[in-house]
Amino acid sequence: MKRIEVLIKPYQLDEVKRALHAQGLLPGITATELNAYTRGVGERMLYRGTEQIVDLLPRMKLEIVAHDDLVNRIVQVLVRTVATGRPDDGEIAIGPVSEVVRIRTGEIDEAAIA
């Protein structure tokens, strides 16, 4: 099992969910709103007559726990869906998951994410 963590722009969330669902690759997802820094991406703004650099931009962090054999397909869908070619496209991080327990049923590991 793997955990896929994705940083995307907030307006891309619905499109990502639709794309993954259309491919049958959305067993479950967790979405968290946050602000993220990307080197070289930001904008200068005037606030009460003082110039400020805004470099913490709104993002959504998506977390998906998936079977190993689905990870590459999920990543391909994510890249196709959110890539714009700009420096602030986001990132995808993939890491191992040692154990999963579904609280409601007590199912463990593969059965818990099916």
Alpha-carbon gap, residue 75 to 59, rounded angstroms: 18
For residue 60, how far is the Cα from the chain centroid?
6
Alpha-carbon gap, residue 78 to 93, rounded angstroms: 12
Closest by CA to 57, choosing from 74, 42, 77, 46, is: 42
Q: pLDDT means per 10 residues in the chain (114 residues)? A: 95 96 90 83 70 80 94 96 86 94 89 81
pTM of the model: 0.82
CATH number of the domain at 13, please. Answer: 3.30.70.120
Structural domain of residue 49, as residue ranges?
2-112
Q: What is the pLDDT of residue 26?
A: 85
- The SS3 assignment for 28 reads coil
Place of tokens 């993002």: 59
Q: What is the pLDDT of residue 39?
A: 66
For residue 50, how far is the Cα from the chain centroid?
34
**Number of domains observed in the structure of the chain:** 1
Q: What is the pLDDT of residue 41?
A: 65
